[in-house]
A and B are shown apart, each in its own frame.
Chain A
Amino acid sequence: MNLLVILAIIAAWIGLRFLKANSLAWAAGIWVGLYVGLSYGINPPLPSSILSMFMAIITLALVTYLTAGNDRMKEMADTIVTFVVDKRYTGALIGVLIALPLLVSFKVYLNMTQAPEPPISGRTIHPVPPNTITVNGSPFNIVEGHNPYRELESSDPDAFALHLENGRRVYYQNCVFCHGDNMEGDGQFAHGLDPIPANFQDATTIAMLQESYLYWRVAKGGPGLPSESTPWLSAMPAWENFLTEEEMWDVIMFLYDYTGQRPRVSEEVH
Protein backbone atom coordinates (compact mmCIF):
# COMPACT_ATOMS: atom_id res chain seq x y z
CA MET A 1 0.00 0.00 0.00
CA ASN A 2 1.27 3.41 -0.90
CA LEU A 3 -0.40 5.64 1.66
CA LEU A 4 0.67 8.90 0.06
CA VAL A 5 -1.09 8.13 -3.20
CA ILE A 6 -4.22 7.02 -1.42
CA LEU A 7 -4.32 10.13 0.76
CA ALA A 8 -3.89 12.32 -2.32
CA ILE A 9 -6.84 10.61 -4.00
CA ILE A 10 -9.04 11.04 -0.97
CA ALA A 11 -8.07 14.69 -0.80
CA ALA A 12 -9.01 15.14 -4.45
CA TRP A 13 -12.40 13.55 -3.82
CA ILE A 14 -13.02 15.83 -0.87
CA GLY A 15 -12.13 18.71 -3.18
CA LEU A 16 -14.73 17.55 -5.69
CA ARG A 17 -17.25 17.53 -2.90
CA PHE A 18 -16.50 21.18 -2.06
CA LEU A 19 -16.68 22.19 -5.69
CA LYS A 20 -20.18 20.70 -5.85
CA ALA A 21 -19.20 18.88 -9.01
CA ASN A 22 -22.00 17.41 -11.11
CA SER A 23 -22.53 13.69 -11.54
CA LEU A 24 -20.45 13.38 -14.68
CA ALA A 25 -17.49 15.11 -13.06
CA TRP A 26 -17.91 12.91 -10.02
CA ALA A 27 -17.92 9.79 -12.15
CA ALA A 28 -14.81 10.96 -13.97
CA GLY A 29 -13.20 11.83 -10.64
CA ILE A 30 -13.95 8.45 -9.16
CA TRP A 31 -12.74 6.68 -12.28
CA VAL A 32 -9.45 8.56 -12.37
CA GLY A 33 -9.03 8.23 -8.61
CA LEU A 34 -9.53 4.49 -8.67
CA TYR A 35 -7.28 4.14 -11.69
CA VAL A 36 -4.48 6.04 -10.03
CA GLY A 37 -5.07 4.25 -6.76
CA LEU A 38 -4.97 0.80 -8.34
CA SER A 39 -1.99 1.68 -10.52
CA TYR A 40 0.23 3.38 -7.99
CA GLY A 41 -1.35 2.80 -4.61
CA ILE A 42 -0.65 -0.91 -4.35
CA ASN A 43 2.73 -2.52 -3.90
CA PRO A 44 3.81 -4.52 -5.81
CA PRO A 45 1.86 -3.03 -8.71
CA LEU A 46 -1.02 -4.97 -10.23
CA PRO A 47 -0.33 -6.63 -13.57
CA SER A 48 -1.79 -4.59 -16.39
CA SER A 49 -4.17 -7.40 -17.40
CA ILE A 50 -5.81 -7.27 -13.99
CA LEU A 51 -5.81 -3.50 -13.91
CA SER A 52 -7.71 -3.30 -17.20
CA MET A 53 -10.23 -5.87 -16.03
CA PHE A 54 -10.87 -3.99 -12.80
CA MET A 55 -11.21 -0.71 -14.64
CA ALA A 56 -13.64 -2.28 -17.13
CA ILE A 57 -15.83 -3.44 -14.27
CA ILE A 58 -15.60 -0.05 -12.58
CA THR A 59 -16.47 1.70 -15.83
CA LEU A 60 -19.51 -0.51 -16.22
CA ALA A 61 -20.56 0.22 -12.63
CA LEU A 62 -20.18 3.98 -13.11
CA VAL A 63 -22.23 3.93 -16.31
CA THR A 64 -24.85 1.98 -14.40
CA TYR A 65 -24.82 4.57 -11.66
CA LEU A 66 -25.07 7.53 -13.99
CA THR A 67 -28.02 6.12 -15.89
CA ALA A 68 -29.95 4.42 -13.10
CA GLY A 69 -31.98 7.50 -12.15
CA ASN A 70 -33.89 9.70 -14.56
CA ASP A 71 -32.60 12.90 -12.94
CA ARG A 72 -28.99 11.90 -13.03
CA MET A 73 -29.38 10.56 -16.53
CA LYS A 74 -30.80 13.89 -17.63
CA GLU A 75 -28.08 15.83 -15.86
CA MET A 76 -25.44 13.76 -17.60
CA ALA A 77 -27.10 13.93 -21.00
CA ASP A 78 -27.53 17.70 -20.67
CA THR A 79 -23.89 18.15 -19.82
CA ILE A 80 -22.84 16.21 -22.87
CA VAL A 81 -25.35 17.86 -25.18
CA THR A 82 -24.30 21.30 -23.97
CA PHE A 83 -20.71 20.46 -24.57
CA VAL A 84 -21.39 19.31 -28.10
CA VAL A 85 -23.88 22.01 -29.08
CA ASP A 86 -22.90 25.14 -27.22
CA LYS A 87 -20.74 27.54 -29.24
CA ARG A 88 -18.63 28.31 -26.21
CA TYR A 89 -17.21 24.81 -26.15
CA THR A 90 -16.56 24.44 -29.87
CA GLY A 91 -12.83 24.80 -29.37
CA ALA A 92 -12.73 22.22 -26.62
CA LEU A 93 -14.93 19.90 -28.65
CA ILE A 94 -12.57 20.03 -31.59
CA GLY A 95 -9.73 19.39 -29.21
CA VAL A 96 -11.44 16.29 -27.87
CA LEU A 97 -12.32 15.05 -31.34
CA ILE A 98 -8.70 15.29 -32.37
CA ALA A 99 -7.26 14.00 -29.12
CA LEU A 100 -9.39 10.84 -28.92
CA PRO A 101 -8.15 9.21 -32.14
CA LEU A 102 -4.65 10.36 -31.29
CA LEU A 103 -4.82 8.69 -27.91
CA VAL A 104 -6.07 5.50 -29.47
CA SER A 105 -3.31 5.54 -32.07
CA PHE A 106 -0.76 6.23 -29.37
CA LYS A 107 -2.00 3.22 -27.42
CA VAL A 108 -1.78 1.07 -30.54
CA TYR A 109 1.71 2.39 -31.12
CA LEU A 110 2.72 1.49 -27.58
CA ASN A 111 1.31 -1.99 -27.96
CA MET A 112 3.10 -2.54 -31.22
CA THR A 113 6.48 -1.32 -30.04
CA GLN A 114 6.75 -3.39 -26.92
CA ALA A 115 10.04 -5.18 -26.68
CA PRO A 116 9.70 -8.91 -27.14
CA GLU A 117 9.53 -10.73 -23.85
CA PRO A 118 10.45 -14.27 -23.02
CA PRO A 119 7.50 -16.42 -22.09
CA ILE A 120 6.84 -16.64 -18.40
CA SER A 121 7.24 -19.89 -16.68
CA GLY A 122 6.64 -20.71 -13.10
CA ARG A 123 9.57 -22.09 -11.27
CA THR A 124 10.10 -23.63 -7.93
CA ILE A 125 11.90 -21.17 -5.74
CA HIS A 126 12.93 -23.68 -3.10
CA PRO A 127 13.18 -27.02 -4.86
CA VAL A 128 13.28 -30.16 -2.80
CA PRO A 129 16.90 -31.22 -2.35
CA PRO A 130 18.12 -34.75 -2.92
CA ASN A 131 18.59 -36.82 0.21
CA THR A 132 22.32 -37.03 -0.10
CA ILE A 133 24.89 -35.18 -2.09
CA THR A 134 28.56 -35.81 -2.60
CA VAL A 135 30.73 -32.77 -1.97
CA ASN A 136 34.29 -33.12 -3.20
CA GLY A 137 34.03 -36.84 -2.78
CA SER A 138 32.60 -36.95 0.72
CA PRO A 139 28.90 -37.75 1.07
CA PHE A 140 26.61 -35.41 2.96
CA ASN A 141 23.10 -36.25 4.07
CA ILE A 142 20.95 -33.15 3.66
CA VAL A 143 18.02 -34.47 5.63
CA GLU A 144 19.93 -35.52 8.71
CA GLY A 145 23.20 -33.67 8.32
CA HIS A 146 23.95 -30.46 10.10
CA ASN A 147 26.54 -27.73 10.22
CA PRO A 148 29.53 -29.22 12.10
CA TYR A 149 30.64 -25.79 13.31
CA ARG A 150 27.32 -24.42 14.53
CA GLU A 151 27.77 -25.93 17.98
CA LEU A 152 30.84 -23.76 18.51
CA GLU A 153 28.51 -20.80 18.88
CA SER A 154 27.69 -21.86 22.38
CA SER A 155 30.60 -24.11 23.31
CA ASP A 156 33.49 -22.02 22.04
CA PRO A 157 32.55 -18.45 21.04
CA ASP A 158 36.11 -17.53 20.21
CA ALA A 159 36.53 -20.31 17.69
CA PHE A 160 33.11 -19.46 16.33
CA ALA A 161 34.18 -15.85 15.81
CA LEU A 162 37.20 -17.06 13.86
CA HIS A 163 34.92 -19.05 11.61
CA LEU A 164 32.75 -16.00 11.08
CA GLU A 165 35.79 -13.95 10.26
CA ASN A 166 36.84 -16.53 7.71
CA GLY A 167 33.30 -16.50 6.32
CA ARG A 168 33.50 -12.73 5.95
CA ARG A 169 36.70 -13.09 3.94
CA VAL A 170 35.15 -15.75 1.71
CA TYR A 171 32.02 -13.66 1.16
CA TYR A 172 33.84 -10.51 0.18
CA GLN A 173 36.23 -12.39 -2.06
CA ASN A 174 33.64 -14.43 -3.90
CA CYS A 175 29.99 -13.66 -3.28
CA VAL A 176 29.83 -9.89 -3.02
CA PHE A 177 29.89 -9.30 -6.76
CA CYS A 178 26.41 -10.69 -7.20
CA HIS A 179 24.85 -10.73 -3.75
CA GLY A 180 25.98 -7.23 -2.91
CA ASP A 181 27.74 -5.33 -0.13
CA ASN A 182 24.68 -5.48 2.02
CA MET A 183 23.58 -8.97 1.00
CA GLU A 184 20.51 -7.56 -0.63
CA GLY A 185 21.08 -9.35 -3.91
CA ASP A 186 22.12 -6.14 -5.63
CA GLY A 187 25.78 -6.63 -6.40
CA GLN A 188 27.48 -5.17 -9.44
CA PHE A 189 26.56 -8.07 -11.69
CA ALA A 190 23.05 -8.56 -10.37
CA HIS A 191 21.37 -6.62 -13.14
CA GLY A 192 22.67 -8.95 -15.79
CA LEU A 193 21.20 -12.03 -14.18
CA ASP A 194 17.83 -13.70 -14.46
CA PRO A 195 16.81 -14.88 -11.94
CA ILE A 196 18.32 -12.15 -9.84
CA PRO A 197 20.63 -13.19 -6.99
CA ALA A 198 18.96 -14.07 -3.71
CA ASN A 199 18.41 -11.27 -1.23
CA PHE A 200 19.57 -12.61 2.12
CA GLN A 201 18.09 -9.72 4.04
CA ASP A 202 14.66 -10.83 2.94
CA ALA A 203 12.99 -12.83 5.67
CA THR A 204 11.66 -15.34 3.14
CA THR A 205 15.04 -16.56 1.94
CA ILE A 206 17.66 -17.99 4.27
CA ALA A 207 15.58 -17.56 7.40
CA MET A 208 13.16 -20.15 6.05
CA LEU A 209 15.85 -22.69 5.25
CA GLN A 210 18.08 -25.00 7.16
CA GLU A 211 21.81 -24.61 6.96
CA SER A 212 22.18 -27.95 5.21
CA TYR A 213 19.92 -26.66 2.45
CA LEU A 214 22.18 -23.65 1.99
CA TYR A 215 25.14 -25.97 1.98
CA TRP A 216 23.57 -27.88 -0.89
CA ARG A 217 22.90 -24.67 -2.82
CA VAL A 218 26.35 -23.25 -2.25
CA ALA A 219 28.15 -26.45 -3.08
CA LYS A 220 26.13 -27.38 -6.16
CA GLY A 221 25.01 -23.96 -7.42
CA GLY A 222 22.85 -23.49 -10.51
CA PRO A 223 24.09 -26.62 -12.26
CA GLY A 224 22.98 -28.76 -9.34
CA LEU A 225 19.36 -27.67 -9.37
CA PRO A 226 16.94 -30.52 -9.95
CA SER A 227 14.96 -30.68 -13.15
CA GLU A 228 11.70 -29.72 -11.48
CA SER A 229 12.90 -26.19 -10.92
CA THR A 230 13.70 -25.61 -14.56
CA PRO A 231 13.75 -23.46 -16.52
CA TRP A 232 16.29 -22.13 -14.11
CA LEU A 233 19.21 -20.29 -15.57
CA SER A 234 20.76 -19.51 -12.23
CA ALA A 235 24.31 -18.25 -12.66
CA MET A 236 25.37 -19.42 -9.20
CA PRO A 237 28.58 -21.44 -9.59
CA ALA A 238 29.08 -24.80 -7.96
CA TRP A 239 31.35 -23.58 -5.20
CA GLU A 240 32.59 -27.00 -4.23
CA ASN A 241 35.03 -26.60 -7.10
CA PHE A 242 36.56 -23.47 -5.58
CA LEU A 243 36.06 -23.61 -1.83
CA THR A 244 36.74 -26.14 0.88
CA GLU A 245 33.89 -27.59 2.87
CA GLU A 246 34.90 -25.56 5.89
CA GLU A 247 34.93 -22.35 3.88
CA MET A 248 31.43 -23.04 2.64
CA TRP A 249 30.14 -23.63 6.17
CA ASP A 250 31.91 -20.50 7.35
CA VAL A 251 30.32 -18.32 4.72
CA ILE A 252 26.90 -19.76 5.53
CA MET A 253 27.33 -18.89 9.19
CA PHE A 254 28.51 -15.46 8.17
CA LEU A 255 25.34 -14.91 6.09
CA TYR A 256 23.18 -15.59 9.11
CA ASP A 257 25.35 -13.56 11.42
CA TYR A 258 25.54 -10.54 9.16
CA THR A 259 21.82 -10.41 8.39
CA GLY A 260 20.74 -11.21 11.92
CA GLN A 261 18.67 -14.17 10.70
CA ARG A 262 18.59 -17.55 12.35
CA PRO A 263 18.63 -20.78 10.39
CA ARG A 264 15.49 -22.82 10.51
CA VAL A 265 15.96 -25.71 12.89
CA SER A 266 15.21 -29.10 11.55
CA GLU A 267 11.73 -30.22 12.38
CA GLU A 268 10.92 -33.51 13.87
CA VAL A 269 10.70 -36.17 11.28
CA HIS A 270 7.16 -37.32 10.81
Chain B
Amino acid sequence: MTNVLKIFVFVICVLAFYAYVGQMVPQKITYPPTSTDFVGDMTPLELAAAGEEIMSGKGTCLTCHTIGSPGDGLRFPDLGGIGGRAGAQIAGMSAVDYLAESLYDPNAFVVEGFLPGMPAVSNPPINLSDNEILAVIAHLQSLGSQPTVTLDTELQWQSEEGSAPSAPTVAPGEPLDGPGVFTNYACSTCHAIDDATRLVGPSLYDAGSRLSKAEIYEAVMDPDATIAEGYPGAAMAAMLNASGFYQNVSTEELKSLVDYLASKTGQ
Protein backbone atom coordinates (compact mmCIF):
# COMPACT_ATOMS: atom_id res chain seq x y z
CA MET B 1 0.00 0.00 0.00
CA THR B 2 2.83 2.41 0.75
CA ASN B 3 4.03 1.87 -2.79
CA VAL B 4 0.66 2.88 -4.14
CA LEU B 5 0.71 5.95 -1.96
CA LYS B 6 4.20 6.85 -3.13
CA ILE B 7 3.27 6.45 -6.75
CA PHE B 8 0.15 8.50 -6.17
CA VAL B 9 2.16 11.34 -4.67
CA PHE B 10 4.70 11.07 -7.46
CA VAL B 11 2.01 11.38 -10.12
CA ILE B 12 0.49 14.41 -8.40
CA CYS B 13 3.91 16.07 -8.14
CA VAL B 14 4.74 15.54 -11.82
CA LEU B 15 1.31 16.78 -12.91
CA ALA B 16 1.58 19.82 -10.65
CA PHE B 17 5.00 20.54 -12.10
CA TYR B 18 3.69 20.49 -15.66
CA ALA B 19 0.69 22.60 -14.70
CA TYR B 20 3.20 25.06 -13.24
CA VAL B 21 5.29 25.07 -16.41
CA GLY B 22 2.12 25.95 -18.27
CA GLN B 23 1.70 29.04 -16.11
CA MET B 24 5.24 30.22 -16.79
CA VAL B 25 4.72 31.17 -20.42
CA PRO B 26 2.86 34.28 -21.53
CA GLN B 27 -0.86 33.88 -20.99
CA LYS B 28 -3.12 35.21 -23.65
CA ILE B 29 -6.77 34.64 -24.37
CA THR B 30 -7.69 35.01 -28.00
CA TYR B 31 -11.20 36.29 -28.44
CA PRO B 32 -13.20 35.80 -31.58
CA PRO B 33 -13.17 38.88 -33.77
CA THR B 34 -15.89 41.42 -33.42
CA SER B 35 -17.41 43.10 -36.41
CA THR B 36 -16.72 46.79 -36.73
CA ASP B 37 -19.60 49.23 -36.96
CA PHE B 38 -19.34 51.85 -39.62
CA VAL B 39 -21.12 55.13 -39.83
CA GLY B 40 -21.69 56.53 -43.26
CA ASP B 41 -19.63 59.67 -43.11
CA MET B 42 -16.27 58.44 -41.84
CA THR B 43 -13.32 60.34 -43.24
CA PRO B 44 -10.55 58.35 -44.89
CA LEU B 45 -8.41 58.89 -41.79
CA GLU B 46 -11.09 57.57 -39.45
CA LEU B 47 -11.57 54.67 -41.78
CA ALA B 48 -7.83 54.01 -41.71
CA ALA B 49 -7.87 53.90 -37.91
CA ALA B 50 -10.69 51.35 -38.01
CA GLY B 51 -8.74 49.42 -40.62
CA GLU B 52 -5.76 49.20 -38.31
CA GLU B 53 -7.93 47.52 -35.69
CA ILE B 54 -9.27 45.10 -38.25
CA MET B 55 -5.80 44.21 -39.52
CA SER B 56 -4.56 43.18 -36.12
CA GLY B 57 -7.88 41.69 -35.06
CA LYS B 58 -10.54 40.13 -37.23
CA GLY B 59 -8.52 40.28 -40.43
CA THR B 60 -5.62 38.39 -38.82
CA CYS B 61 -3.37 40.10 -41.39
CA LEU B 62 -0.55 40.53 -38.93
CA THR B 63 -0.38 36.82 -38.26
CA CYS B 64 1.58 36.55 -41.48
CA HIS B 65 2.54 40.04 -42.60
CA THR B 66 4.90 42.39 -40.86
CA ILE B 67 4.68 46.13 -41.01
CA GLY B 68 7.92 48.00 -41.18
CA SER B 69 10.39 45.26 -40.38
CA PRO B 70 11.61 44.13 -43.74
CA GLY B 71 14.45 41.70 -43.69
CA ASP B 72 15.78 38.67 -45.40
CA GLY B 73 13.91 35.44 -45.41
CA LEU B 74 10.43 36.87 -44.96
CA ARG B 75 7.74 34.45 -46.04
CA PHE B 76 5.19 37.14 -46.74
CA PRO B 77 5.67 40.66 -48.07
CA ASP B 78 6.30 43.37 -45.52
CA LEU B 79 3.52 45.94 -45.63
CA GLY B 80 5.56 48.93 -44.48
CA GLY B 81 5.19 51.71 -47.03
CA ILE B 82 2.73 49.67 -49.09
CA GLY B 83 0.58 52.74 -49.70
CA GLY B 84 3.44 54.37 -51.55
CA ARG B 85 4.26 51.33 -53.66
CA ALA B 86 0.79 50.04 -54.42
CA GLY B 87 0.17 52.23 -57.47
CA ALA B 88 3.31 51.02 -59.19
CA GLN B 89 2.93 47.26 -58.78
CA ILE B 90 0.80 46.56 -61.82
CA ALA B 91 0.93 48.91 -64.77
CA GLY B 92 -2.37 50.63 -65.31
CA MET B 93 -3.85 49.65 -61.97
CA SER B 94 -4.51 52.32 -59.39
CA ALA B 95 -3.28 51.90 -55.84
CA VAL B 96 -6.80 51.35 -54.53
CA ASP B 97 -7.58 48.74 -57.16
CA TYR B 98 -4.29 47.00 -56.57
CA LEU B 99 -4.90 46.79 -52.82
CA ALA B 100 -8.49 45.68 -53.39
CA GLU B 101 -7.43 42.97 -55.77
CA SER B 102 -4.80 41.79 -53.30
CA LEU B 103 -7.51 41.40 -50.70
CA TYR B 104 -10.37 39.98 -52.76
CA ASP B 105 -8.31 37.88 -55.12
CA PRO B 106 -4.86 37.58 -53.56
CA ASN B 107 -3.40 35.11 -55.97
CA ALA B 108 -4.20 37.09 -59.10
CA PHE B 109 -0.87 38.86 -58.66
CA VAL B 110 1.81 37.57 -56.36
CA VAL B 111 4.72 39.82 -55.45
CA GLU B 112 7.92 38.56 -56.95
CA GLY B 113 9.91 36.36 -54.66
CA PHE B 114 6.90 35.12 -52.70
CA LEU B 115 4.69 32.10 -53.08
CA PRO B 116 0.92 32.31 -53.38
CA GLY B 117 -0.77 31.32 -50.15
CA MET B 118 -2.97 34.14 -48.97
CA PRO B 119 -6.68 33.38 -48.61
CA ALA B 120 -9.26 35.82 -50.00
CA VAL B 121 -10.18 37.85 -46.97
CA SER B 122 -13.74 38.29 -48.17
CA ASN B 123 -14.38 34.58 -47.71
CA PRO B 124 -14.47 32.45 -44.58
CA PRO B 125 -12.61 31.90 -42.35
CA ILE B 126 -11.61 35.56 -42.35
CA ASN B 127 -14.86 36.78 -43.81
CA LEU B 128 -14.37 40.53 -43.85
CA SER B 129 -17.31 42.59 -45.06
CA ASP B 130 -16.91 44.99 -47.97
CA ASN B 131 -16.85 47.93 -45.56
CA GLU B 132 -14.21 46.29 -43.44
CA ILE B 133 -12.10 45.69 -46.52
CA LEU B 134 -12.44 49.36 -47.43
CA ALA B 135 -11.17 50.23 -43.98
CA VAL B 136 -8.21 47.90 -44.42
CA ILE B 137 -7.45 49.51 -47.77
CA ALA B 138 -7.57 52.92 -46.12
CA HIS B 139 -5.11 51.79 -43.50
CA LEU B 140 -2.79 50.22 -46.07
CA GLN B 141 -2.84 53.48 -48.00
CA SER B 142 -1.91 55.34 -44.85
CA LEU B 143 1.29 53.33 -44.69
CA GLY B 144 3.46 55.47 -46.88
CA SER B 145 0.77 57.63 -48.42
CA GLN B 146 -2.53 59.32 -47.70
CA PRO B 147 -5.75 57.32 -47.45
CA THR B 148 -8.34 58.33 -50.03
CA VAL B 149 -11.07 55.72 -49.86
CA THR B 150 -14.32 56.23 -48.04
CA LEU B 151 -17.26 53.93 -47.45
CA ASP B 152 -18.71 55.25 -50.68
CA THR B 153 -15.82 54.01 -52.78
CA GLU B 154 -17.00 51.29 -55.10
CA LEU B 155 -14.84 48.37 -56.04
CA GLN B 156 -15.52 45.92 -58.82
CA TRP B 157 -15.05 42.99 -56.44
CA GLN B 158 -17.76 44.02 -54.04
CA SER B 159 -20.76 41.78 -53.81
CA GLU B 160 -23.89 43.21 -55.30
CA GLU B 161 -25.80 43.50 -52.13
CA GLY B 162 -28.30 46.28 -52.31
CA SER B 163 -28.27 46.61 -56.03
CA ALA B 164 -31.22 45.04 -57.77
CA PRO B 165 -30.71 41.32 -58.14
CA SER B 166 -30.16 40.40 -61.73
CA ALA B 167 -33.14 38.69 -63.26
CA PRO B 168 -33.01 34.98 -62.62
CA THR B 169 -33.42 32.81 -65.66
CA VAL B 170 -35.69 30.43 -63.83
CA ALA B 171 -38.38 31.08 -61.31
CA PRO B 172 -36.95 30.80 -57.83
CA GLY B 173 -38.22 28.05 -55.63
CA GLU B 174 -38.13 25.28 -58.16
CA PRO B 175 -34.69 23.78 -58.18
CA LEU B 176 -33.75 22.18 -61.46
CA ASP B 177 -32.57 18.64 -61.65
CA GLY B 178 -29.18 17.80 -63.14
CA PRO B 179 -30.22 17.53 -66.81
CA GLY B 180 -32.35 20.63 -66.27
CA VAL B 181 -29.38 22.67 -65.15
CA PHE B 182 -27.36 21.30 -68.04
CA THR B 183 -29.98 22.45 -70.51
CA ASN B 184 -30.90 25.69 -68.82
CA TYR B 185 -27.37 27.05 -68.88
CA ALA B 186 -26.78 25.76 -72.39
CA CYS B 187 -23.85 23.60 -71.47
CA SER B 188 -24.55 21.49 -74.52
CA THR B 189 -23.42 24.37 -76.73
CA CYS B 190 -19.88 23.41 -75.94
CA HIS B 191 -20.04 19.94 -74.40
CA ALA B 192 -21.47 16.77 -75.88
CA ILE B 193 -23.22 14.69 -73.27
CA ASP B 194 -24.47 11.62 -75.14
CA ASP B 195 -21.41 10.61 -77.11
CA ALA B 196 -17.71 11.30 -77.37
CA THR B 197 -17.97 14.11 -79.91
CA ARG B 198 -15.48 16.91 -79.41
CA LEU B 199 -17.12 20.31 -79.48
CA VAL B 200 -15.57 23.50 -78.17
CA GLY B 201 -15.06 21.70 -74.87
CA PRO B 202 -14.45 18.06 -74.07
CA SER B 203 -17.34 15.61 -74.20
CA LEU B 204 -18.84 14.86 -70.83
CA TYR B 205 -20.39 11.53 -71.70
CA ASP B 206 -17.69 9.81 -69.63
CA ALA B 207 -17.13 12.58 -67.06
CA GLY B 208 -18.04 10.30 -64.17
CA SER B 209 -15.34 7.81 -65.01
CA ARG B 210 -12.65 10.42 -65.58
CA LEU B 211 -13.30 12.73 -62.66
CA SER B 212 -14.28 12.45 -59.03
CA LYS B 213 -17.22 14.49 -57.80
CA ALA B 214 -14.86 16.92 -56.17
CA GLU B 215 -13.03 17.38 -59.46
CA ILE B 216 -16.27 17.91 -61.33
CA TYR B 217 -17.30 20.45 -58.78
CA GLU B 218 -14.02 22.23 -59.23
CA ALA B 219 -14.26 22.05 -63.01
CA VAL B 220 -17.63 23.79 -62.85
CA MET B 221 -16.96 26.37 -60.21
CA ASP B 222 -13.39 27.17 -61.19
CA PRO B 223 -13.02 26.01 -64.78
CA ASP B 224 -9.50 27.31 -65.21
CA ALA B 225 -8.05 25.43 -62.26
CA THR B 226 -7.47 22.42 -64.46
CA ILE B 227 -7.98 22.57 -68.19
CA ALA B 228 -8.35 19.40 -70.19
CA GLU B 229 -5.49 19.00 -72.58
CA GLY B 230 -6.01 20.56 -75.96
CA TYR B 231 -8.88 22.85 -75.00
CA PRO B 232 -8.89 26.62 -74.57
CA GLY B 233 -8.88 28.06 -71.08
CA ALA B 234 -10.90 30.96 -69.75
CA ALA B 235 -13.74 30.43 -72.21
CA MET B 236 -15.96 28.45 -69.89
CA ALA B 237 -15.63 30.79 -66.94
CA ALA B 238 -16.53 33.71 -69.20
CA MET B 239 -19.54 31.89 -70.69
CA LEU B 240 -20.89 30.83 -67.32
CA ASN B 241 -20.40 34.31 -65.94
CA ALA B 242 -22.24 35.76 -68.86
CA SER B 243 -25.13 33.36 -68.50
CA GLY B 244 -25.49 34.26 -64.82
CA PHE B 245 -24.72 30.72 -63.76
CA TYR B 246 -22.59 31.65 -60.78
CA GLN B 247 -25.10 34.18 -59.50
CA ASN B 248 -28.15 32.05 -59.85
CA VAL B 249 -27.33 28.43 -59.44
CA SER B 250 -28.38 27.13 -56.03
CA THR B 251 -26.44 24.70 -53.96
CA GLU B 252 -28.99 21.99 -54.59
CA GLU B 253 -28.93 22.58 -58.30
CA LEU B 254 -25.19 22.49 -58.31
CA LYS B 255 -25.21 19.26 -56.41
CA SER B 256 -27.67 17.67 -58.78
CA LEU B 257 -25.62 18.85 -61.74
CA VAL B 258 -22.50 17.29 -60.29
CA ASP B 259 -24.39 14.09 -59.51
CA TYR B 260 -25.75 14.03 -63.03
CA LEU B 261 -22.32 14.49 -64.58
CA ALA B 262 -20.81 11.94 -62.26
CA SER B 263 -23.40 9.43 -63.41
CA LYS B 264 -22.17 9.81 -67.00
CA THR B 265 -19.63 7.06 -67.15
CA GLY B 266 -19.56 6.55 -70.89
CA GLN B 267 -21.86 3.53 -70.83
- Partner of B145 from the list A53, A127, A131, A229 (CB cut-off 8 Å) is A131
Chain A residue contacts of B142, Cβ below 8 A: 227
Assess the A130–B52 pair: CB atoms within 8 A.
no
Shortest C-beta distance, A216 to chain B (Å), equals: 12
> Residues of A within 8 Å of B, CB-based: how many?
14
Shortest C-beta distance, A220 to chain B (Å), equals: 14
Assess the A131–B81 pair: CB atoms within 8 A.
yes
- Partner of B84 from the list A124, A126, A130, A227 (CB cut-off 8 Å) is A130
Assess the B84–A226 pair: CB atoms within 8 A.
no
Q: Does B192 contact A (CB under 8 A)?
A: no
Interface residues of B in 156-178 (CB under 8 A from A): none
A130-B144 contact given A228-B67, A229-B68, CB 8 Å threshold: yes
Interface residues of B in 132-156 (CB under 8 A from A): 142-145
> Residues of B within 8 Å of A, CB-based: how many?
13
Q: Does B24 contact A (CB under 8 A)?
A: yes
What is the chain B residue whose CB lies nearest that of A122? B69
In the bound assembly, the distance between CA atoms of A143 and B84 in angstroms comes to 10
Assess the B80–A228 pair: CB atoms within 8 A.
yes
In the bound assembly, the distance between CA atoms of A229 and B144 in angstroms comes to 13
Q: Does A241 contact B (CB under 8 A)?
A: no
Q: Does A128 contact B (CB under 8 A)?
A: yes
Q: Does A49 contact B (CB under 8 A)?
A: yes
Would you give the 0/1 interface string for A129-165, flagging 1 where the beta carbon is closer than 8 Å to chain B?
Answer: 1110000000000010000000000000000000000
Chain B residue contacts of A229, Cβ below 8 A: 68
In the bound assembly, the distance between CA atoms of A127 and B84 in angstroms comes to 14
Assess the A130–B145 pair: CB atoms within 8 A.
yes
Assess the A131–B68 pair: CB atoms within 8 A.
no
Chain B residue contacts of A227, Cβ below 8 A: 52, 142
Most buried by B among A53, A130, A228: A228
Assess the B68–A127 pair: CB atoms within 8 A.
yes
- Partner of A131 from the list B52, B67, B69, B144 (CB cut-off 8 Å) is B144
Chain B residue contacts of A131, Cβ below 8 A: 81, 84, 144-145
Chain B residues with CB under 8 Å of chain A are 24, 52, 67-70, 80-81, 84, 142-145
Chain A residues with CB under 8 Å of chain B are 49, 53, 124, 126-131, 143, 226-229
